[in-house]
Amino acid sequence: MRQLFQGHGASRGSALGRARVRLPHALEVAEERIGAGQVETELARLHTAIDIVRSEMHALRDRLHGALAHEVGEFLDLHTLLLDDPELLQGLDELIRTGHYAADYALRLQRDRIASVFEAMDDAYFRSRVDDIDQVIGRIHATLHRRDHDTSGVAGEILVTDNVAPAELAQLQAQGVMAIVTAAGSTLSHSAILARSLHLPLIVGTAHALLKINDGDALVVDGGTGTVILEPNAEDLRAHRARTRELARERKQLHRLRREPTRTLDGVDIKLYANAESREDVAEAHALGAAGVGLYRTEFLFLQRNELPDEDEQFRVYRDVVLGMTGRTVTIRTLDLGADKADKTGLALRDEPNPALGVRGVRLSMAREGLLETQLRAILRASGYGPVRVLVPMISSTEEVGTVRKLLKKVAADLRKQGHEIAEHTPLGAMIEVPAAAIALPGFIGLIDFLSIGTNDLVQYLLAVDRNNEALSDLYTPLHPAVLRVIRDVIRLAKARGKPAAVCGEMAGDSNFAPLLLALGLEEFSLHPATLLELRRAIRGLDLESLRKRAPALLRAKDRAGIEAWLNKS
């Protein structure tokens, strides 16, 4: 019987297929005991399953690159650490050896034991780690019961589940999953961002779908509207085919824009830079006609290794990025590690009570002797091969900017004395992602050459809302009057002082926000290459002068509804 479920479209795309329902991770395993003679066999069975899961996670980590390696990698790293946690492993062994429990029941008991410890903590961040424990235990449990021929069980189907972790997305798509429907989740979560990068249809917030849909049911999903249709009728199937044809035409039209200028209807050129983290990202940015790289993340050099990268290693990577852009500007962001994405070298602290407000970004770079100087030397050496800019994250004070500026000048002088060929001038920029930086900008704007607004963190800090907290998903939005006013003020001051300003957060990559950002005065965007052509198409259909005339009405909006109404008229 046909039923319609309405969720929230988190990643566009249309799919028609059979449902595969995956229930929540919580293990409902009955108590089962084994004989004394079965202990060693059961231990070997459990350890084999753990080894398989560990190998699969390492293999997936090795296959990832670019933004996926950055976003998914931190989750895989955490899950790998959990797999190697002595408390987990020793506890499981003890339950099997002394309690004579079967491996399945031992997993459940150990899961409950560890989860109770985390759930009792005052810190919300650590309480949220229970989800990671469930995912790791769930992987082990599934592997214990995997048949040799059973690899994924969801190939060519639509996954319906409670939630999906970022670490799963690339693997699920590789296994042939056509789309994902979740009962929970947020359109602004890490999973949603990655699904959009992968062009994998994702619908979140369809709570009733998990209760009503069964394995094998026919489904039509539309990631654009957030609709899920169970047992579609003839009209639904015709609409799906028409939508699929339209998406195919759209992809062809976007492909034709690769060499077209990003120019508004009234003839104003807008610069589209690319966010990148790998050679593949850089190559794609170049092929799509990006003005340059507006944000090159350097964290991947420091992750998944036991020692810090030296100057020469960093230089070779940065040089290759510069060469890959063939004369277009490359903006290299200095290290932005923190406790929420700790590295194996021990550089980032692992036990901070509040990682988002801790030793991260420029704070970490300045706290560790020689770290920032080594990175700046490598970046400046790369400037001899093409135009390079230095972007500093997590700036919150004039003192920080002044310290980096002095160090940059010292490093440049040292390199010239040592005979290195470097650019005559390497622009220094600041990330505006902490409210204090936006407020204090008049005091240090004379020390920088450009700035980039990181809307992901700016919205989070300005509204005091964790974007990954589903309970607050309605509160986390860039469409808040305070957010718009801060962005407007930063752009206005930058223009008055002749400093280029870009937006580099997720807001920049969403073509729906293009009219709003252009109205606020923005002329430079930096975004993931996956959505660059969509943004170019949107901008080419807008009249900048008329948007700027409507800006006062936008800034008079008192709430999200008023801002959305303004956007609907654009």
Hey, which residues are catalytic here?
190, 504
Q: Which residues contact 261 (CB under 8 A, 6 or more apart)?
A: 269
Q: How far apart are the first and last CA of the chain?
A: 40
What residues does 230 pair with on adjacent strands?
A: 3, 219
Give the β-pairing of 501-503 and 450-453.
Answer: parallel
CB atoms within 10 A of CB 347: 18
- Cα separation, 339 vs 335, in Å, equals 13
Q: Which residues contact 165 (CB under 8 A, 6 or more apart)?
A: 75, 131, 132, 135, 191
Half-sphere exposure for 398 (CA within 13 Å, toward CB): 9
- Cα separation, 346 vs 31, in Å, equals 40
- Cα separation, 481 vs 451, in Å, equals 22
What is the tally of helices (H) and strands (E) in the chain?
Answer: 24, 16
Handedness of CA 398, 401, 404, 407 (dihedral sign): negative
φ/ψ of residue 357, rounded to 5:
-110, 25
Give the β-pairing of 227-230 and 218-222.
Answer: antiparallel
Alpha carbon of 377 to those of 170, 277, 320, 327, 408: distances in Å? 35, 19, 16, 20, 8
List the Cα angle 280/378/458 in 5-degree steps: 65
Q: Which residues contact 153 (CB under 8 A, 6 or more apart)?
A: 20
Q: Which residues contact 197 (CB under 8 A, 6 or more apart)?
A: 67, 68, 528, 530
List, as one string, the DSSP characters of 543-565: -HHHHHHTHHHHHH--SHHHHHH
- Cα separation, 551 vs 189, in Å, equals 29
Where do the DSSP E strands lie in 402-523? Answer: 428-432, 450-453, 501-503
Structure tokens at 21: 């329902």
Decide if 355 contacts 395 (C-beta within 8 A): no
